[in-house]
Amino acid sequence: MLMRAARMYGYHEPLRLEEIPVPTPEPDEVLVKVSAAGMCRSDYQLIEGYFEQAAPLEFPAVPGHEVAGRVAATGSAVPRSAGLSEGDQVVVNPGWGDGTCRQCHEGNEQLCTGSGGWIGFGPPGGFADYVAVPRRHLIRVPGGDQKAEHLAPLTDAGLTPYRGVKKLRAGGKLGPGRTVVVAGIGGLGSYAVQYAKLLGGGATVVAFSRTDEKLALARRNGADHTVNTRDLKPGQVQDELEALTGRRTVDAILDCAGAPASITLDFEILAAEGVVVSVGLMGTKVEVPLNVIVGTELSYFGSFWGNYNDLTEVLALAAAGRIQHSVTTVTFEDINDNLQALARGDVVGRQAIVFA
Ligand code: FEH
Ligand code: ZN
């Protein structure tokens, strides 16, 4: 049987839309009929060779790491105890480790230091009608069926800021009387604002973006205040914060942008003992003010993707109707145009390909 697949034959080239054989699942794998695949800026970065040094691809390769679908078949070694039956709605936990290194044994396969390979970054991904998934990376969607185009982005755009906000909370800087900034309202930021309200224990949430349309989305997602930082000069962001919150500094920042200018601003507005968690990867190198970090005892954490348990918590929030989704459905045929829109920063919320 043949299926549609969008494949890379090299870096810096458009994906080729082809018909290829449906994969046969290995004994411990499950064949998933893809219902929806989220489109992430990391897909664009992959195609442009950003990860070529760290994880060179073998071509042809199928990208796509935000996958929701239904069980089509199970491999011969998938136990009945896995509770996976044909037709079940599932999502793929995308951070695939090798299951042998310390990080994998600690349950953080997204941090695998061994021979792990993430779906869509080597192992064939979800920009296709079917994908074969090792059983341990599949999660059956709890509660009733949900829209696949809402579920798929939760496995990265929805998962990554969730882990980041949990790290902010662990840093002890969320709660009544606290102020938390979500910097960057792209695919991750609209979820981040919601988690900052849900997990923030009453903290005031301020959204930063350079685009009014994205700030409007942040307000719809519960931000208490918004600041357009595009044309503000040094000190003017603090003026805005003071006018909005009565304070010129904030206690916690989830940086979903990762652009150097955003990181610089983070360290200009953090209060003493403040915490910043970076999840955004717009840039590659940033400068941080060592004297300020040491002199005011700041904490700077990285947070990457999420683990299986983080994703089960996100799915439980979604099943309980606690997450607002801002997803635009796009077609398989337009995948290359949509990747370019992502690269330009033209996408508000998340795009997801729906496979009828
Ligand atoms: C995935 C793989 C590599 C780099 C960045 C990412 C993000 O989409 C994870 O949130
Ligand atoms: Zn590992």
Beta carbon of 162 within 6 Å of any ligand 1 atom: no
Indicate the pTM of the whole model: 0.96
Beta carbon of 152 within 6 Å of any ligand 1 atom: no
Cα distance between residue 291 and residue 310, in whole Å: 34
Check which CATH number belongs to the domain holding 228 and give it. Answer: 3.40.50.720
Same-domain check for residues 221 and 262: yes
Q: If we measure between CA atoms, which residue out of 119, 117, 92, 91 comes closest to residue 104? A: 117
Beta carbon of 160 within 6 Å of any ligand 1 atom: yes
For residue 49, the enclosing domain spans 2-155+306-354
The label of the residue with tokens 């994969």 reads: 23
**pLDDT in the model for residue 285:** 86
Same-domain check for residues 196 and 327: no
Per-residue pLDDT tens digits for 44-84: 999 999 999 888 999 999 999 999 999 999 999 999 999 99
Cα distance between residue 262 and residue 266, in whole Å: 6
Same-domain check for residues 27 and 77: yes
Cα distance between residue 9 and residue 268, in whole Å: 44
Same-domain check for residues 164 and 296: yes
Q: Give the number of the atom of ligand 1 that is nearest the alpha carbon of residue 281.
A: 5
Same-domain check for residues 329 and 341: yes
- At a CB cut-off of 8 Å and minimum separation 6, what does 337 contact? none
Band of pLDDT at residue 234, cut at 50, 70 and 90: confident
Beta carbon of 42 within 6 Å of any ligand 1 atom: yes
Ligand 1 centroid distance, CA of 235 (Å): 32
SS3 content of the chain, % helix, strand, coil (to 5): 30, 25, 45
**pLDDT in the model for residue 61:** 98
Cα distance between residue 65 and residue 158, in whole Å: 13
Ligand 2 centroid distance, CA of 98 (Å): 4
**pLDDT in the model for residue 252:** 98
Mean pLDDT to the nearest integer, 125-134:
98
Mean pLDDT to the nearest integer, 182-190:
94
Same-domain check for residues 15 and 114: yes
Band of pLDDT at residue 284, cut at 50, 70 and 90: confident
Beta carbon of 195 within 6 Å of any ligand 1 atom: no
Cα distance between residue 96 and residue 266, in whole Å: 31
Per-residue pLDDT tens digits for 4-37: 999 999 999 999 999 999 999 999 999 999 999 9
Ligand 2 centroid distance, CA of 97 (Å): 4
Is pLDDT above 90 for 182? yes
Is pLDDT above 90 for 309? yes
Check which CATH number belongs to the domain holding 32 and give it. Answer: 3.90.180.10
3-state secondary structure of 37: strand
Atom 3 (ligand 1): residue with closest C-alpha?
A: 42
Band of pLDDT at residue 296, cut at 50, 70 and 90: very high
The label of the residue with tokens 């999840």 reads: 279
- Give residue 93's identity as a one-letter amino acid code: N
Ligand 1 centroid distance, CA of 77 (Å): 30
Helices and strands of the chain, counted as H and E runs = 11, 15
Per-residue pLDDT tens digits for 314-334: 999 999 999 999 999 999 999
Q: Residue length, the chain?
A: 356
Mean pLDDT to the nearest integer, 254-283:
94
Cα distance between residue 90 and residue 336, in whole Å: 26
Q: What is the DSSP letter of 349?
A: S
Same-domain check for residues 49 and 150: yes
Mean pLDDT to the nearest integer, 183-207:
96
Q: Compute the mean pLDDT over every residue in the chain, rounded to the nearest whole number.
A: 96
ipTM: 0.91
Same-domain check for residues 235 and 121: no
Number of domains in the chain: 2
**pLDDT in the model for residue 281:** 84
Q: Which of 259, 284, 302 is the last residue of a domain?
A: 302
Atom 7 (ligand 1): residue with closest C-alpha?
A: 42
Same-domain check for residues 31 and 145: yes
Ligand 2 centroid distance, CA of 284 (Å): 24
% pLDDT > 90, the chain: 93
Same-domain check for residues 107 and 204: no
Same-domain check for residues 208 and 328: no
Is pLDDT above 80 for 283? no
Atom 2 (ligand 1): residue with closest C-alpha?
A: 42
Same-domain check for residues 281 and 314: no
Tokens representing 320 are 């309980």
Band of pLDDT at residue 356, cut at 50, 70 and 90: confident
Band of pLDDT at residue 261, cut at 50, 70 and 90: very high
